Every structure is written in structure tokens, then in C-alpha cells.
Structure 1
Amino acid sequence: MDISSYVLLSHNQALRRRLDVSANNMANISTAGFKREAPVFREFVEQTAGGSDAPVRTTSMVLDYGAVHDQSAGAFMATGNPIDVMIDGPGYLAVETPEGGTAYTRAGYLKVGEDGTLQTAGGLALLGEGGRPITIPLEQAGQVSIGKDGTVSAGDAQVGRVAVTVFDDERMVDPRGDGTFAGTGGRELAAADTKLKTGGVEGSNVQAIVETTNMVEILRAYQTSMKMSEALGDMRKSAIDKLGRFG
């Protein structure tokens, strides 16, 4: 395979990666707290030495470098549940995974579990300050309120505070595939720096028109790449025919 074919192959792989990311964004357009992803590519330059008098040739290829999350906030969606929360700013809610570890989410659908712990809609225990679950007395399960600073009250008593964890380097946050994120190097915000909105959750920040436009651009780029591949094939065939006649 000649170098031009390798360049086209790297381009097609990059287009497929872009399509996968855009399709995943579209699939999560209604997922609470979802942050759209954008693929990141970098240029790989290969140098090919010619003869003694020939100049060094450089060839640029495309390499997948990963993906970044768009940290812009989604719209507030009222739910009618007074203990649903939306983080007003950066950060994540910490939850306890079934394996006993810690994961993070922006989806603030909350409920009081059968054991009295404050949980997400999926049944994961919400972790408060210091990584401790927040327990509500069962007789006061219908009297729970959450303040703007994360303070959780049951009736007149304060029973804990919702902790918001921020990451100075968002590259340390990776999707787990179950709607939550794994992360390292996070730190809890103090009550004075915590800002929550109650009575609703954060919607996805995916914009359908943007992702649709991206998909159209990807399709056109792929069509152009295929035309170039066909043209290269025709050139090789023509060269082989001419060499055959010359022989």
C-alpha cells in the first residue's frame, strides 16, 4: 500500500470517530446532565528520506487524540420534585457505586430510599461531605428539603449536606458507560462555594441542529475521500496498463 492510501485511511478513521461521537451525542440529547463530547485529533508527520540529492518529503496523517467534554451548562428542567437538584456551575454529585467505589454524575434526580438514604433515580447512594451517605429518618421522608448550599434538612433538623466535587483537570473525568463518570483528583466545594437549584435537573447540553450539521459535514467529507480513493485507483490502473504496453 502506497503512502497516499495510508493518508486516506487515517482520514477515514478520523471521520468514523467523529461520526461515532456525534451519534452518541444525539442519542443522549434527552439524558439529564449529559455533556456533549468533541473528538480531538492531532497531526502526525512522517518524514521520508529521498536519495542523496533528493529533498526529504513530509507526509501528514490524522491521529485520534481522544475526546473532550463541553462543560457548558444545560437548561434547567423543572420536575416538580422538591429534592431534585441542578448544579449551578462546574462540578459533579458524588455517588456510591455497587462495587463500593465512588462515581460522579450531573443528573440530579433524587429520592429517599427504603433504607432512608438519599439516592439517585438509579438507586445509587448520594454521598455527602467526606464521602458519607446522607440518611433521612423514615418518618420524615416526606419533609426533606435541600438548600442552595447543599444543606439537607428533614423537618427542622439538618441531616447532612450534598457535596459538589470539582476537578481542576477535566481530562481526569471519563464516562463509565452507565450514565456516571469515573474521576481522580477531585475536591469538594465548601458550602459557601456550592450553588444548587432545586425542583428540577440539568438537561443535556447537546444541540440537535449542531450535531445534525456535523453529521452532514462528515458525510460530505467521506464522499470526497471516496472520490479521491477512486481517482487514485484509476491512476494506478492506468499506470499498470501503460507499463504493460511498454513491456
Structure 2
Amino acid sequence: MDISSYILLSHEQALRRRLDIAANNMANASTVGFHRERPVFHEYVERAKDAMVPDAKAASFVLDYRAAQDTRPGAFEATGNPLDVMIDGPGYFAVEAPGGGTAYTRAGFIKVNDSGDLVTSGGQKILDDGGRPLSVPPDALASLSIGADGTVLSKDGPLGRIGVTVFGDDGALTPRGDGMMNGAGGRVLGASETRLRSGGVEGSNVQPIVETTELVDILRSYQSSMKIADAINDMRSRAIQRLGRIG
């Protein structure tokens, strides 16, 4: 293939990446705590030593850099459960990840398991501001509540404080595929910095109409790319025919 074909191929790979991300966003339009992603691309310019004309020496390729999260919060969805909470601002709940380690999520469905631990809807233990699981005595279940600073309260007083972790760059977080994220280098917010809203959870910030528009734009870009490829093929065919007549 010549350089024009490689450039078109890099463009179509970028379109495939956009399609995958837009489809994933659409699939998670009703997933609690999900933040939509958007692709980030870099331009790579390759400069050839020789070319028929000076303008042809530079060839611009599209490189897939990463997927960045849209960190705008989703809408508050009331559930009526006083243990369900939404992070009103930046940050993630830290939980014990399946298989060990720590994972992060913004899905605030919280319940108490049979062992008395605060857990997510998937059964992962919620960690406090010191990185330890939060336990609830059996006699405190009826009076349990969560304060705006993350403090877990019972009739006998505070039992601990739910940790909310922030990261300098949310792009450092990587999806695990189970609704949670992996990350490193986070900072646990202090009580005065933490803002939780109880009685509900954060909905997905995906706007289906925006993703639908993105899918239509990707389709049109694919169609334009195919037309360019056809035009290049026609140009090659004509060039070969003319060279044949000259020979």
C-alpha cells in the first residue's frame, strides 16, 4: 500500500475506536454512577526525505491516545434507602476488589451484609477513610444513617467514615469491566471536603441523544472515507492504464 492508504487506515481505526466508545456509552446509559467516555487522539506527522512535491513530504496519521472520562456528575436518583448515597462532587468510593486490592466506583448502592459489613450492591466491602472495611453492630442496624461528610451514624454514635478518594488525573483510572475502576496515587478527602447526598444514587451522565448523534457522525465519516478510498483506487487504475499506453 502507498502512504495514502496507510493514512486512510489510521483514520478508519480511529473511527472504529470512536464507535466502540460511543456504543459502550449507550450500553451504560442507565448504569448507576457511570461517566461517559470520549476518545482522545494525537496527530503523528511523518516527514519523508524525498517527494514529488514539497507538500507531500509531510504525512499526518491519527494515533489513538486514550479514552478520557466526562467527569460531570449524573443526576440524583432517589431510592428511598437512607444508606444509598451520591458523591456530590469529585471522587470515588473505595471498595475491596474481587481477588484482592482496592477498586473504585461512584455507584452508591450500599447495604449491610450478613456479616455486618457495609457493602456495595455487588457485595464488595466499602472501605473507610483509613482503608478498612466498615462494620455495623447488629443492634445498630435499625438506626443506621450516613452523614453528608460520609460519617456512618447509629443510635450509639459514629461507627466510622466512608472514604472518598480523588485522583489528580481521572484518566489514570482504568475500567475493570465489572463496573469498577482500578487506580493508583489517589488522595482520601477529609471530612470537611467530602460531600455526600443520602437517599439516592448518581445516575449515568450519558445523554442518549448525544451518543446517537455521535454514531450518525461516525457513519458519515466512514462513508466519506470509503469514497476517498474509491477515488484513490480509480486514480491508480487510470494511472496504470496511461502508463500502459505510453509503454
TM-score (norm 2): 0.96
Asked whether 1:121 is paired with 2:121, we answer yes
CA contact (8 A) 1:93 1:126 kept: yes
Structure 2: which 5+ residue stretches go unaligned?
none
Structure 1: which 5+ residue stretches go unaligned?
none
For the residues of structure 1 that align with 2:142 and 2:110, how far apart are their CA atoms?
Answer: 13
Cα 1:19–1:54, aligned 2, differ >3 Å: closer, same or farther?
closer
Instruction: Identify the residue that residue 3 of structure 1 maps to in structure 2.
Output: 3
Deviating more after overlay: 231-240 vs 191-200 = 231-240
Query: Counterpart of 1:63 in 2: which secondary structure?
Result: strand
Instruction: Identify the residue that residue 164 of structure 1 maps to in structure 2.
Output: 164
1:204-219 to 2 correspondence within 5 Å? 204-219=204-219
Q: Which amino acid aligns with 1:186?
A: G
Deviations, residues 108-148 of structure 1 (Å, cap 9, x unaligned): 00000000000000000000021011100123223210000
Q: Which amino acid aligns with 2:163?
A: A
For the residues of structure 1 that align with 2:181 and 2:66, how far apart are their CA atoms?
Answer: 16
Spell out structure 1 runs of 4+ moving beyond 4 A. none
- Residue 76 of structure 1, CA deviation: 0.1
For the residues of structure 2 that align with 1:242 and 1:168, how far apart are their CA atoms?
Answer: 60
Deviations, residues 168-213 of structure 1 (Å, cap 9, x unaligned): 1222211111100111111111111111000000000011111111
Instruction: Identify the residue that residue 244 of structure 1 maps to in structure 2.
Output: 244
Query: Counterpart of 2:177 in 1: which secondary structure?
Result: coil
Tell me the matched-pair count: 246
Instruction: Identify the residue that residue 83 of structure 1 maps to in structure 2.
Output: 83
Identical counterparts, % of pairs: 60
For the residues of structure 2 that align with 1:211 and 1:182, how far apart are their CA atoms?
Answer: 25
Asked whether 1:61 is paired with 2:58, we answer no
CA contact (8 A) 1:49 1:55 kept: no
- Residue 54 of structure 1, CA deviation: 6.2
Deviations, residues 14-48 of structure 1 (Å, cap 9, x unaligned): 11100100000000000000010010001110101
Instruction: Identify the residue that residue 197 of structure 2 maps to in structure 1.
Output: 197
Instruction: Identify the residue that residue 28 of structure 1 maps to in structure 2.
Output: 28
Query: Counterpart of 1:42 in 2: which secondary structure?
Result: strand
Query: Counterpart of 1:131 in 2: which secondary structure?
Result: coil
CA contact (8 A) 1:77 1:200 kept: yes
Instruction: Identify the residue that residue 15 of structure 2 maps to in structure 1.
Output: 15
CA contact (8 A) 1:84 1:110 kept: yes
TM-score (norm 1): 0.96
Instruction: Identify the residue that residue 148 of structure 2 maps to in structure 1.
Output: 148
- Residue 239 of structure 1, CA deviation: 1.4
For the residues of structure 1 that align with 2:36 and 2:11, how far apart are their CA atoms?
Answer: 23
For the residues of structure 1 that align with 2:212 and 2:222, how far apart are their CA atoms?
Answer: 15
For the residues of structure 2 that align with 1:100 and 1:141, how far apart are their CA atoms?
Answer: 27
For the residues of structure 2 that align with 1:220 and 1:55, how far apart are their CA atoms?
Answer: 31
RMSD (Å), alpha carbons: 1.3
Deviating more after overlay: 234-243 vs 122-131 = 234-243
Instruction: Identify the residue that residue 45 of structure 2 maps to in structure 1.
Output: 45
Query: Counterpart of 1:21 in 2: which secondary structure?
Result: helix
For the residues of structure 1 that align with 2:175 and 2:44, how far apart are their CA atoms?
Answer: 27
